[in-house]
A = this chain, B = another copy of it.
Amino acid sequence: MLYFDCDYMEGCCSEILKRLAEINMEKNRGYGTDRYCKSAEEKILKACGLSEGEVYFMTGGTQTNSTVISALLKNYEGVVAADSGHINTHEAGAIENSGHKVMTIKNKDGKIAGEDLENYLKNFFSDENNEHMVYPGMVYISFPTEYGTLYSAGELSEIHNICIEYGIPLYVDGARLGYGIMAEENDVTLEYLAHNCDIFYIGGTKVGAMFGEAVVIPNKGSIPHFFTMIKQKGALLAKGWLLGVQFDTLFTDDLYFKIAENAILRANEIKRIFAEKGYRFYINSPTNQIFIIMEDEKIRELKNNVSFGFWEKYDERSTVVRFATSWATAKEDVEKLEKFL
């Protein structure tokens, strides 16, 4: 059986496994106060082109989103997101559970259009009755998006400038950040991202780490007592160095980007194969997720040999399905896939 279900089906890249084994019996202080977290923070900030800043490590995406968003928002504020945003769909109401509304804008290919955001905020702030409404307190976008699409540098900058204009922070969910940065058509560097938002996270779980996400706060000190809020959310790993050493490894010799590139190469091969075989694409995604409109009969046949994701019904006879690659996808699996199509 071939597996293209998602990008988190394996453990971690070999370099990380090695480091974890090497330091296994070392004695380290807890809660991220160890030297590996320190080193990882320094390397990440350097990779971001930040002379100062803060980096915190957590173990998963929903946890990170929930902790960051509730740390940024005041009681009367909500978070603006695309209706397709992960926080709005597949986090079991984590944001609302922390007391805040997810305020949605209709997505365009998984993204928020700058114009739509501008209109949304303009309408809110010009509404005489807005004191009876939830205030937009921050903007959430994902890069890449849930549909595998990317904001261009220009689009990102536009969103950020609108946020600056309205005095609210921009948060970027980078669960698959590596796959975005390494996409061929992408023009957003890690450094550019770090200078065009107020807080973001670098996803490890889906990009080579065993587990872990690194939250980057470019403006040092901008979230007082973030450590305690992480603890309160149950998001503070006792053995924080497990996260530190993973990101220290990923940000040594550009490993994070090198392994991310594999997912892009494999995805591009798969896209070429689908195109050659005449399949229709549901959306033009330049990263590691490929959305295909497939006839239901073909799906039934294919799933005898290949495991992949069902997205949504397309029409009476067809369904949108998702194929995902990752840092771990083998070239030979792609070749085998071609034979089943």
Contacts and interface: CB of A to CB of B under 8 A. Distances in A.
Interface of A: 3, 5-6, 8-12, 14, 17, 20-21, 23-30, 59-67, 70-71, 74-76, 78, 89-94, 96-102, 128-129, 131-135, 205-206, 210-211, 225, 227-229, 231-239, 242, 310, 328
A15 to B, nearest CB: 12
Q: How many copies does the complex hold?
A: 4
Nearest to A61: B238
Contact of A70 (B65, B75, B101, B237): B75
B210 A60 contact: no
Nearest to A225: B76
Given A96-B99, A234-B60, A239-B11, A228 B131 contact: yes
Contacts of A28: 9-10
B11 A133 contact: no
B238 A235 contact: no
9 closest Cβ contacts across the A-B interface? A63-B234, A11-B24, A92-B232, A93-B134, A92-B231, A96-B101, A9-B27, A76-B228, A62-B234
Nearest to A130: B228
A235 to B, nearest CB: 6
A93 B100 contact: yes
Nearest to A235: B234
B11 A232 contact: no
A229 B11 contact: no
Contacts of A206: 238
A135 B232 CA distance: 11
Given A62-B236, A228-B76, A239-B210, A129 B90 contact: yes
Contact of A132 (B3, B92, B96, B242): B92
Contact of A131 (B12, B131, B210, B227): B227
